[in-house]
Amino acid sequence: MTALICGSVAYDTIMVFPDSFKNHILPEQVHILNVSFLVPELRREYGGCAGNIAYNLKLLGKEPLIMATVGKDFGPYGDWMSYCGLNQAYVKILDDNYTAQAYITTDQDDNQITAFHPGAMSFSHLNDIPTDQGIRFGMVSPDGKAGMVQHARQFVEAGIPFIFDPGQGMPMFDGEELLDFIDKATWITVNDYEARLMQDRTGLSANQIAARVDALIITRGGEGSQIHAQGKCHEIPPVSTAEAVDPTGCGDAYRAGLLFGMLEQLDWPTTGRIASLMGSLKIETYGTQNHSFEQDSFRRKFHTHFGYDF
């Protein structure tokens, strides 16, 4: 019994500019903007929603399947996946494209300038959902638009319940398209901003969206999260952390916790707390796949924070 995670696999190139952008960009001259930033600090991280979620679910002891399209430069990432024991059977390499890449420059005020190249991700529709691998749950996370639409339809046709996780892909869809996803999905997970955007575009309230699915999960950063299911709203508390280093990827870690709880057939309050703890452990480390823990240690932390075992 496993989960198939459809979504992006990407390289994140993160650069730090030790000054403020505002000191080098003249507002009255933006029509002829031509600036260069010296970035002495640079990191290249393995990322993408599907890659991040699968990495975290593997830490929890599960064997997730990743479905993604990547490019000719996938080699180092593939080696990392092999090292982590992640199954790459449904990772398709397209030799005429690059793997999706985000180039992020951050200044000392935490402002960011990002350039994103989707590359092979745009061809995610070249992958089809397998029906013979014992897949218990699916997930449609940010990916190429055609691929997200196709994979949602194929999950339904295969009788595989799935989570719709639009994330950064939300702006690609209008209200009618989002309503179609809502009607196909079994569960939906969004952050609070995405929830408001979904409500605005569909004309549905959060309660109305929740009534159409088995559960609507809304994350709220440091305020915890809410799980709307069967007419109830479960308030999931945040987990305090010694030091918040990097929030990038916390949402993906949270989603891995959701999948773990669902695969273990745990109740929503416990599933949400596992997800919350996953997000807090990730935030203590730079990058999206640099944190690690032993499963026994995770269970002890869970007991310490919540006062019971799962």
Give the model confidence (pLDDT) of 65-97 as tens digits.
Answer: 999 999 999 999 999 999 999 999 999 999 999
Predicted pLDDT of residue 33: 87
Global pTM reads 0.94
Q: Residue 61, by phi and psi: left (phi above 0), alpha (psi -120 to 50) or beta? A: left
Average pLDDT over residues 237-265: 93
Predicted pLDDT of residue 203: 98
Domain ranges of the chain: 2-18+41-306
Q: Tokens standing for 106? A: 């951050």
Average pLDDT over residues 216-236: 96
Whole-angstrom distance, CA of residue 141 vs CA of residue 252: 10
Please tell me the class of the 2-18+41-306 domain. alpha beta
Q: How confident is the model at residue 232 (pLDDT cuts 50, 70, 90)?
A: very high
Q: Which residues contact 8 (CB under 8 A, 6 or more apart)?
A: 48, 49, 50, 51, 68, 100, 121, 141, 142, 143
Whole-angstrom distance, CA of residue 19 vs CA of residue 106: 9
